[in-house]
Amino acid sequence: MFEPIHNDKVIELEKKAVEARELVISTLLEAGSGHSAGPLGMADIFTAFYFHILNHNPKDPTWVDRDRLVLSNGHICPIQYVTLAMAGYFPIEELKTLRKINSRLQGHPHRGTIPGIETTSGPLGEGISQSIGMALAARLDNKKHHIYCLTSDGEHQEGNTWEAVMFAGKEKLDNLTVVVDRNNIQIDGFTEEVMPLETLRYKYESFNWKVFEVDGHNIKMFVEAVSEARAIHEMPVAIIAHTIPGKGVDFMENDFTWHGKPPNKDEAKKALDELRTLQGKIISEHQ
């Protein structure tokens, strides 16, 4: 179990999250393709995982007792690549190779290419099922590590997601925590216009899940929710994290058109200038 989070640690993580957003912008600009909104929106959560929550070891990425983090919505992998690199799984300089020919950093994560990637993801809706397999294996082997699955809200429009949710509830997989990125957008528009998802919380609860709802940009709140989730027995846990797509870059925030495109040179400069002003604000807000 990870340690309680204190104010100094919160400030450290918030600063790292801004650094991660800056690297996402630079990486996408270099690639000339990729997704912007989701990676920026999930920067706080990925930072919380790799720098506080997960029991893991970048020097021994296949350590058998590590916690597993499964990314179901693989298109937001730029933020996973960035935080893996920041944590020491591979050199930060390699981020410049995103989506390049022969790069290890593919447009969707591929297990076996770089350390720290637990599953291959691309087709949406598979992550919870993959995580269930890991959770059942851990139970059979009497292991104590935890499985975390990060999912998009849009993939909850798919039937296979709900088959997995039903199964996990039936099996009382209390070593599984699903985090739903509730950013309300998908490539064609807003989720509630494309295919309404509400009431998402009650759907999970009806299948025997414990549900928490948090502000996905409040790192302290998120860490405390994960800690509480680890104390739940005989039920899997879903954390619905309300996030702002494009968080930190004003002209990208809540604009679904940034779901699947990168910034150009001028847009990247504007975004980086905006993000660089946040570091001082983070310190002043906690004083």
Instruction: Say which CATH superfamily domain 7-285 falls into.
Output: Thiamin diphosphate (ThDP)-binding fold, Pyr/PP domains (3.40.50.970)
pTM, rounded to two decimals: 0.96
d(CA 127, CA 144): 20
pLDDT tens, per residue, the chain with 287 residues: 678 899 999 999 999 999 999 999 999 999 999 999 999 999 999 999 999 999 999 999 999 999 999 999 999 999 999 999 999 999 999 999 999 999 999 999 999 999 999 999 988 999 999 999 999 999 999 999 999 999 999 999 999 999 999 999 999 999 999 999 999 999 999 999 999 999 999 999 999 999 999 999 999 999 999 999 999 999 999 999 999 999 999 999 999 999 999 999 999 999 999 999 887 777 667 66
95 by Cβ neighbours in 10 Å (0-12 / 13-18 / 19+) ranks as buried
**Where along the chain do its domains lie?**
7-285
3-state secondary structure of 146: coil
Categorise residue 263: left if φ over 0, alpha if ψ from -120 to 50, beta otherwise. Answer: beta
Residues paired with residue 211 on neighbouring β-strands, in sequence order: 238
